[in-house]
Amino acid sequence: MILPEIGEEGQQKLAKSKVLVIGAGGLGAAILPYLAAAGVGEIGIVDHDVIEISNLQRQVIYKTDAIGKSKAKEAKAMIAELNPLVKVKAISEKLSGRNAISLFEKYDSIVDATDNIAIKYLINDACFVTNKPMVYGSIFRFQGQVSVFNYQNGPTYRCLYPDENSNAINCEEAGVLGVSVGIIGMFQANEVLKMILGIGEVLSGKILVYNVLNNEQQKYDFEKSDIQTITREAFEEKYNKCEVEEVSFESVLNEMENDEVLFLDVRNTDESPKISLKNQIQIPLMHLESKLENLDKKQTIYIFCQSGIRSKIAFELLQKHRFKNIKSIAGGALAMKNILNKKNSHEFTNFYF
């Protein structure tokens, strides 16, 4: 209220604003409390995931006793305690082509707090169709990026990253220092507040790159590309196709010896934990499209990566090339290794007794 650039008028703008945050993980854990504390009137939180113990080193709004609970609902409870005047909607479902546009139309700005490349393109395209700004944040180990796309008809995510088939790994797979996501998330919250208040210089047509190890930051300019646009009809056609079919590894354990089944590992060759199954082949995601001749369309193909992100991209790639019997293994190699360890331990115990 004291700041002359904000004052009572600015506080009223905040109270009338509506912000949708996609993802209540590390970035969201920094973004949400600062938006709520600033007085943003309405906040939507989209996240279908539950809290795991490995999340707690960076998703600091959650407590140990919340493990196994919905991230969106726990984040809503946190905001209610921090600022009960904020209207919060917890949306415990996965963002998809079926719900993105209808959700985005209800909010003024959209915050990308995800670590999934495919979802970022979905958010970008839905923002373009609904004419909403997209506040972007991304982390890779000790480096983060921040930008604002589609702000006042400015450049979009596709203008900066036109290659939708690029390969990237998330925080669970690459590792991350908890404060890294906190810093980048606060940068994102800052961009949201600047847009609402109409102050400062919004990071539109610019990307901020910040390194937490040496505190160096750079800003790079990029231009709008007229070809990186999408119509509502094209959006519906692109995203309202068959959803990725996921299965648990436990449900397919009895198929490990089946010659009509193939387990496709799309991780890079140096990644751990190592998984060794009878009917298994490893083709890194970046090489998959050029090696499709190594796969038999008559087989049922179970795809896995490290934690279940890249396998979904591989699923869509195989689907595009008319593979029919394909499924993605939920949780990837990390979940598979735990299940295999339990299975082997159980078999040993039975033998011993």
Residue type, 147: S
pLDDT digits (tens, 9 = 90+) for 143-176: 899 999 999 999 999 999 887 765 555 555 667 7
Long-range contacts of 236-239 (CB under 8 A, 24+ apart): 236/97, 238/97, 238/125, 239/96, 239/97, 239/98, 239/100, 239/122, 239/125
Residue 143 included in any domain: yes
DSSP string, 91-103: E-S---TTTHHHH
Is residue 301, in this structure, part of any structural domain at all?
yes
DSSP 221-279: E----TTS---HHHHHHHHSSPPPPEE-SGGGGGGTT-TTEEEEE-S-TT-SS----TT
Judgement on whether residues 184 and 39 belong to the same structural domain of the protein: yes
Segment 257-266 mean pLDDT: 92
Q: Is residue 80 one of the residues assigned to a domain?
A: yes
In a domain, 134, yes or no: yes
- Strand pairing partners for 111? 21, 135
Average pLDDT over residues 264-277: 92
Burial class (CB in 10 A: 0-12, 13-18, 19+), 159: buried
Same domain, 107 and 175: yes
Residues 87 and 175 in one domain: yes
Residue 271 lies in a domain: yes
Task: Tell me the pLDDT band of 181, cut-offs 50, 70 and 90.
Answer: very high
Asked whether residue 103 falls in the same domain as residue 165, the answer is yes
CA distance 80 to 86: 7
What average pLDDT score do residues 132-151 get?
Answer: 94
State the pLDDT at residue 1: 86
Task: Look at residue 2 and tell me if it is in a domain.
Answer: no
CATH of the domain at 156: 3.40.50.720
Both 75 and 201 in one domain: the answer is yes
> pLDDT band at residue 123, thresholds of 50, 70 and 90?
very high
Residue 1 lies in a domain: no
Q: How many Å apart are CA 323 and CA 310, to the nearest integer?
A: 17
Residue 31: name the closest of 116, 146, 121 by CA.
146
**Residue ranges making up the domain that contains 70:** 7-239
Residues 160 and 34 in one domain: yes
Q: How many domains does the chain have?
A: 2
Last residue of a domain, one of 239, 271, 289: 239
Domain boundary among 204, 239, 274: 239
> In this structure, what are the phi and psi dihedrals at residue 16, rounded to the nearest 5 degrees?
-90, -10
Is residue 95 located within the same domain as residue 157? Answer: yes
Are 254 and 235 part of one and the same domain? no
Task: Give 338's pLDDT tier (boundaries 50, 70, 90).
Answer: confident
Statement to judge: residues 112 and 226 lie in one domain: yes
Boundary-marking domain end, from 239, 263, 284: 239
Tell me the per-residue pLDDT of 2-35, one tens digit each, with 9 for 90 and over: 888 889 999 999 999 999 999 998 999 999 999 9
Q: Do 259 and 207 share a structural domain?
A: no
CATH of the domain at 250: 3.40.250.10
Residue 159 maps to a domain: yes
For residues 293 and 225, membership in a common domain is answered with no
pTM above 0.85, yes or no: no
Q: Are residues 121 and 231 in the same domain?
A: yes
- Report whether pLDDT(346) > 60: no
